[in-house]
């Protein structure tokens, strides 16, 4: 039972230490992993604490899956290096554990660095392209495929499995599909969904009514508000997959959020200019020059202080 005064970071460390401790009983290993999953499912703050722990070990490359048959004997206690490998594996590979119904669950946590999109191929043939500075959790059972997009953007090319629906949850709403290709962009207070193939049903959190969107359209989601459907050029969907960003009448806040995933520093945008509309195409390698050129097309002032770029009203 966790101490009520124990911080989330301490709780994350406690789960890590539990996984580090040698155990010859496979059921005990499964219980520990199940405990971790239930802890992570309590909310985004818990997942963020876990991700902070992962970052401390500076993951370099994906490791082999954690789930292995138990060995009859342990030749020596786990070292700190071995513990680090476990932490990296939890972050970059699959955890296999039973859910409450006994079905096998595959869970994967992915976090990308700024400027480094990552491709992830899932076991059912679904492909994810995850933008830089993004975080998500994939959870597969025998009945359902789900992704929690915690922050950032991802493009999904979903394998067709009518009896096993695919759902993306952003906290502000859900996207439900059978087989299609689409992008989801999530941020605190909202999310946006755009389709390139097939069709998806979107539903804002707190509402029961869903709206269907098709290629050439996009929907903005916010908790308690009906989805706002707009037209969307297919060329502007997940352009970061091909090394560029395209904005056509986009709110400056939306554009800065997308550019910020590919700028190593920080971008501070004044709320006064957040709703200005921007039409621009830029290369991901030229995000900083594009930001500095904003005064040429918008009534803003842009300046840099160390590694922070400020965008303010002129």
- The pLDDT tens digits for 194-210 are 999 999 999 999 998 89
Residues 87, 129 within the same domain: no
Residues 145, 193 within the same domain: yes
User: For position 161, which CATH number holds?
Assistant: 2.60.120.1440
Question: Is residue 61 pLDDT above 80, yes or no?
Answer: no
The pLDDT confidence band at residue 107, using thresholds 50, 70 and 90, is confident
Residues 187, 119 within the same domain: yes
d(CA 132, CA 258): 9
Q: What is the pLDDT of residue 56?
A: 52
Residues 140, 229 within the same domain: yes
The pLDDT confidence band at residue 231, using thresholds 50, 70 and 90, is confident
Question: Is residue 59 pLDDT above 50, yes or no?
Answer: no
Q: Is residue 238 part of a domain?
A: no
Beta strands in 207-307 (DSSP E): 211-213, 217-222, 225-231, 244-251, 266-269, 277-283, 300-305
Residues 274, 192 within the same domain: no
Mean pLDDT of 56-63: 36
* pTM for this model (two decimals): 0.65
Q: Is residue 105 part of a domain?
A: no
**Residue whose token pair is 């803003």:** 300
Residues 37, 121 within the same domain: no
The pLDDT confidence band at residue 90, using thresholds 50, 70 and 90, is very low
Question: Is residue 147 pLDDT above 80, yes or no?
Answer: yes
d(CA 273, CA 298): 9
Whether residue 232 contacts residue 255, with contact meaning beta carbons closer than 8 Å, is answered with: no
Q: What is the pLDDT of residue 81?
A: 41
Residues 222, 279 within the same domain: no
- The pLDDT tens digits for 4-38 are 556 787 788 778 767 666 666 677 777 888 888 88
Q: What is the pLDDT of residue 176?
A: 92
Domain range spanning residue 302? 243-313
Count of structural domains, the chain:
3
Q: What is the pLDDT of residue 79?
A: 41
Query: CA nearest 185: which of 237, 114, 107?
Result: 237
Q: Is residue 140 part of a domain?
A: yes
Q: Is residue 106 part of a domain?
A: no
Q: What is the pLDDT of residue 34?
A: 82
Whether residue 287 contacts residue 263, with contact meaning beta carbons closer than 8 Å, is answered with: yes
The pLDDT confidence band at residue 105, using thresholds 50, 70 and 90, is low
Mean pLDDT of 277-293: 92
User: For position 302, which CATH number holds?
Assistant: 3.55.50.30
Q: What is the pLDDT of residue 60?
A: 27
Q: What is the pLDDT of residue 4?
A: 52
Question: Is residue 82 pLDDT above 50, yes or no?
Answer: no
Helix spans in 57-160 (H): 80-92
Residues 223, 252 within the same domain: no
Which DSSP symbol is given to 296? G
């Amino acid at each position: 039972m966790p101490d009520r005064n124990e911080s989330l970071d301490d709780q994350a460390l406690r789960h890590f230490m539990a996984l580090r401790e040698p155990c010859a009983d496979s059921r005990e290993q499964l219980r520990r992993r199940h405990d971790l999953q239930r802890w992570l499912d309590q909310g985004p703050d818990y997942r963020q604490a876990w991700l902070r722990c992962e970052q401390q070990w500076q993951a370099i490359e994906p490791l082999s899956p954690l789930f292995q048959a138990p060995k009859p004997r342990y030749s020596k206690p786990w070292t700190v290096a071995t513990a680090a490998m476990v932490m990296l594996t939890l972050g970059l590979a699959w955890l296999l554990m039973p859910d409450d119904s006994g079905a096998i669950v595959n869970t994967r946590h992915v976090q990308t660095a700024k400027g480094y999109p990552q491709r992830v191929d899932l076991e059912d043939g679904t492909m994810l392209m995850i933008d830089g500075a993004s975080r998500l959790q994939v959870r597969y059972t025998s009945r359902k495929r789900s992704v929690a997009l915690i922050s950032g953007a991802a493009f999904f090319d979903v394998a067709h499995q009518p009896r096993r629906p695919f759902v993306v949850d952003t906290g502000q709403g859900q996207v439900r599909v059978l087989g299609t290709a689409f992008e989801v962009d999530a941020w605190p207070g909202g999310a946006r969904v755009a389709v390139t193939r097939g069709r998806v049903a979107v539903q804002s959190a707190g509402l029961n009514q869903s709206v269907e969107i098709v290629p050439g359209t996009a929907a903005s989601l916010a908790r308690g508000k009906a989805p706002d459907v707009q037209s969307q050029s297919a060329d502007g969907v997940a352009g970061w997959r091909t090394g560029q960003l395209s904005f056509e009448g986009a709110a400056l806040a939306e554009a800065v959020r997308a550019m910020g995933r590919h700028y190593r520093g920080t971008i501070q945008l004044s709320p006064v200019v957040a709703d200005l509309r921007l039409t621009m195409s830029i290369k991901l390698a030229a995000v900083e020059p594009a930001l500095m050129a904003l005064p040429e097309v918008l009534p803003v002032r842009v300046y840099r202080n160390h590694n922070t770029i400020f965008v303010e009203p002129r």
